[in-house]
Chain A
Amino acid sequence: MATTTARPAPLDPHQHPAHEARLTVDDRRELMRYMLLMRATEERALTLYRQGKVPGSHYDGRGQEAVSVGSAFALSPRDRACILHRDLGAHLLRGVRPGRVLAQMMGRAGGLTGGRDGNMHFGDKDLGCVGMVSMLPDMAPVACGLALAFQMRSEPRVAMTWFGDGSTANGQWHEAMNVAGVRKLPVVFVLENNQFAYSTPNSLEFVVDPIERAASYGFPGVKVDGNDVEAVFQASAEACERARQGGGPTLIEAETMRMHGHGAHDDMSYVPPEMLEEWSRRDPIESYEARLHEAGDVDLDSLREEVKAELDSETDWALAQEMPDPSTATGGVFATEDPVMGDGKAPWSRWAKEASHA
């Protein structure tokens, strides 16, 4: 399932069972839960947008749920994440409440940035997340810095960041890859190739598949099916493990498809209908549902109801939030203290023991 194109030799979970990232039934239920929660939250957000409750633009990651949930699932509580706007699942998994995300999108005081930023531009510092900016992939160098801190303090921690196919054409991508390689930083780069950078197809962004370039930076590049949540998870867990053990960075390319437009305003007229049709048959949630159904381990109906109930109450909470006080607009430009980042949630059963020790 995972193809490797670069040295050093990969840690193939099938060849190295000792390193296999084991998933329990509960883990699988969580993977499914967060994918459902992401989709439900984004669908609700889109409804709010269409109701005129969301100022500005609206972006989502429909079709990419498996990438964000599968990769973030590998993170330990003390790992750090710089999450992309297509990866709401990663935020939710780390502990962000859907209501705060909806409030964020509506510019409410109760949103994650209190109305200072909108849509998916946030990061909850108390959950170990550094929020993204619009310039991509600006968080790649930042993730290198987080990893640098771990490395300098000899801490077994990982920084993970996500970016799209378009980002690989930007100079900062090269700078980050190169620096990570030079210093063998404990960083995991997740490239979610969703086929389009806004409207620009891969063929206009690059000639050589970015995964091929990993070798030139001196670290492994692993290509996975981005719509297979467990495949993404396995590659990510492996990459995190390598990083934690001092093996340096990994570039994971998760091949997927952006099933919505760049933003809610975008009619996707540039996407061939048959392409959408093909990818819709590979929907990550439906695929995983079929797999779980087959295994019969997870009660999907109750899970769906659980998610819906959570979303309903979170939406009510978000709509009850007030708009921010205009007098707060000019404060808080400069820090007067240096607060420490908090740790994120890590639902993977592997970390349960560690968390109970914490």
Chain B
Amino acid sequence: MPQMGVSVAEGTITAWRKRPGDWVERDEVIVEISTDKVETEVPSPAAGRVAELLVEEGSTVDVGTLLAVIDTGARPGQAHADESTGNGNGKAPPVSPVVRRIADEHSVDLAAVSGTGRRGRVTKKDLLAFIEQGAGAPAKPAERPLHSESPYREEPAPAPAAGTAEGEQLSVLRRQIGEHMVHSLHTAAHCTTIVEADMTAIEAARGRLSYLPLVARATIAALREHPRLNATLEGDRLKVWDEVHLGIAVSLGEEGLIVPVVRNAHELSHEGLGARIKDLAARARSKQLSPDEVGGGTFTITNPGRYGALLATPIINQPQVAILDLEAVVKRPVVVSDGQGGDSIAIRPMTYFCMSWDHRALDGVGAAEFLGSVKRNVEGWSD
């Protein structure tokens, strides 16, 4: 199990891309791994034939655990020409004639039988053992009923408050997100502060681009002013970071959410930030992120606003101390001052910046000062 970033201690095998007997090239994806921080594809460290897989799919093991053995002395051969055609793609290899025949005779669904053969093949032994356990319905000739026998079967007692449909198993990533969020709620003293900001300057500056990089840039500037928000809290140790490693939450749709990190974001312009965010998001969706790109963040921005939501109270991405939530930019009538005491009502693109912060690390004043700083930077944006 590779070290997935600094703070990751374990990982879960979500899917093996190769099976024993398969040929794997160096840097070809061999396994998909999920940690509390990331779901990623792990490239093979060497070329060779997969000799053995030591950890089953779904198992979680510590970093450093041996996952598979690759025979680097082997040679790719014609006999394995079918490998590239995708037998390794989680699909079971073809079954032998005798297995097919016995399965048919016993009406066994071979997908239900776990195979111990090469590449997970269901062997005759596996199948016979499966049938022995009574899983398969042996194709016995129907017995004629005895005098004492009837088709009558007692109805089972009604189940208490039967639920809806069977439901489906949460994905590994979903479960990890869940554990992570619940853990955060249980750990941090969550408090949410909201400010309203006029996005006119940003709207003018962004053109057809997303406002996210510009707001991120404004946020980074505010973090430099208020470094206690750019911090991590583990146990009773608060670490205030000089560099800003900015996490950007990226939705993977139904699969879940991932937070790649723009490292040393304080060194980047809003154009640089834009490019990095775009790259990270794309790679997050294609599961190409490296473990270090999803760990080590010091502050997180989440951005569900484009879906029209107005307000939210986000959960802090532990062990950070605050998370800024960007909501929809909506045109509203607002009172504007002309600077000479004259007020008027104007239509302005407005938004709310909602920030959850950890009361263990700071107090409301700090949060408000920081948000005020973000607001000023946004409203006073100039390239």
Is A–B contact present in the complex under a CB 8 A cutoff? no
